[in-house]
Structure 1
């Protein structure tokens, strides 16, 4: 379990650094220090080293500025490794220095350090890394993108075109924020067995998107885009909930 927590935490952290930290090397250094400290105090040196290597490999295989080199397959490999780590390895009996003093209670019972790290890694991964995986899946399927919709010419300011800038594109701009929120909500509702609320949340997204999807015409490109993106995003959140659920009951 500790291996899965470290892997997800490392990958999720480097993606957050790439997206939100202007000087990435500072963010990478901070991530490295956090991983080193956590691995040292929890007697998890090997999982910590594996996580550092996985973070570096993820940056190379899933670049943020261009299409991924191997599609979404790095995410599939990561999911398999994390699943095996949780299902087969389970929770450790000795969590090192921090395990001797660690005490964290919840309404569902005590939470061990290994489980807490797994939950932290899962949540961090759901934020920005989930967006990268969804984008990789859409790219692999060559799906229509909102960037393919151009703003009407009348809406382009004269000074923009005169300055030689590209014509702005239309479409949806909130996906980068909606995606993480959606995955976190699905993750939490699944873990708490709030299935009616989960179904209502998923249905609400389709209702909100229906007016835009209905403009598809004969191609069905918009419907395919939202269907592929939504399903991949939901699978990520449900898979994360499964990992934590198994970790709790292992």
Structure 2
């Protein structure tokens, strides 16, 4: 599982960085993140997965659209999903989790989960924050929408979308399926008028405004 978490951390970290920074600062931050990822994974006896993660993140960054738009196929998403699934299948939850696993605070509330599971959960959360928006942009091909128009319509969605995804993820982890169903039903009710307009050939901004959520 830790391999999957490391890959998701790398991809999510790249997307958060390229959303917030440009130029030299972006390069410095990405280099620092890569170093931290290598040191941390080595401490958990999973250094090889840091190199896999860097490679996957580099392909992801080169192939997927950033906040300025762009078009790509769905294959980068399939690539990440395949690598993550392979990592879970190969490693699972390890008995020996390296020096970091030895010092993991098993006597605290954190001890309810192992280091491997904790890394996977954190990686999934980081991925959901911004990489989830990238996946939505790929799925909806919003590179077709003019940059100026999209900037005006997606500001709310870029914030609401990650909150919704993290909430759904948290409810799923805690087994609160009744509450999860209520949240999804409420979202469907709220979005029904917008979906109806889109189905009748309404304007593109309506579709774009929901792209990130």
Q: Report SS of the residue matched to 1:51.
A: helix
The answer to whether 1:67 aligns with 2:70 is: yes
Write the distance in 2 (CA, Å) between the matches of 1:137 and 1:45.
33
| Residue 20 of structure 2 is aligned to residue 17 of structure 1 | no
Identify unmatched segments of 5+ residues in structure 1.
Answer: 149-165, 234-250
Contact 2:65–2:138 (Cα < 8 Å) also in 1: no
Change beyond 3 A, Cα 1:61–1:193: same
After TM superposition, the score normalised by the length of structure 1 is 0.72
Q: Partners in 2 of 1:5 and 1:217 — Cα distance?
A: 38
The answer as to 2:160 corresponding to 1:178 is yes
Q: Residues 213 and 167 (structure 1 numbering): CA distance in 2 closer, same or farther, change over 3 Å?
A: closer
After superposition, give the CA deviation of every residue in 1:73-131 in whole Å (9 maximum; x if it has no partner): 21112112212321342122222211221124677963211111111111100100000
Deviates further, 5-14 or 36-45: 36-45
TM-score of the two chains, using structure 2 as the length reference: 0.83
Q: Does 1:94 align with 2:82?
A: no
Q: Find the counterpart in structure 2 of residue 6 from structure 1.
A: 6
Q: Which residue of 2 aligns with 1:190?
A: 172
RMSD over aligned CA atoms reads 3.2
Runs (5+) with no aligned partner, structure 2: none
Choose which of 123, 129, 132 in structure 2 pairs with 1:130.
132
Instruction: Assess if the C-alpha contact under 8 Å between 1:12 and 1:121 holds in 2.
Output: yes
C-alpha offsets along residues 143-180 of structure 1, whole Å, 9 cap, x if unaligned? 8x6x69xxxxxxxxxxxxxxxxx789864531111111
Superimposed CA distance per residue, residues 153-208 of structure 1 (whole angstroms, 9 cap, x where no aligned partner): xxxxxxxxxxxxx7898645311111111111111111212122111111222222
Structure of higher CA gyration radius: 1
Identify if the C-alpha distance between structure 1 residues 59 and 220 changes in structure 2 by more than 3 Å, giving closer, same or farther.
Answer: same
Q: How do 1:29-48 residues align onto structure 2 when only pairs under 5 Å count?
A: 29-48=31-50
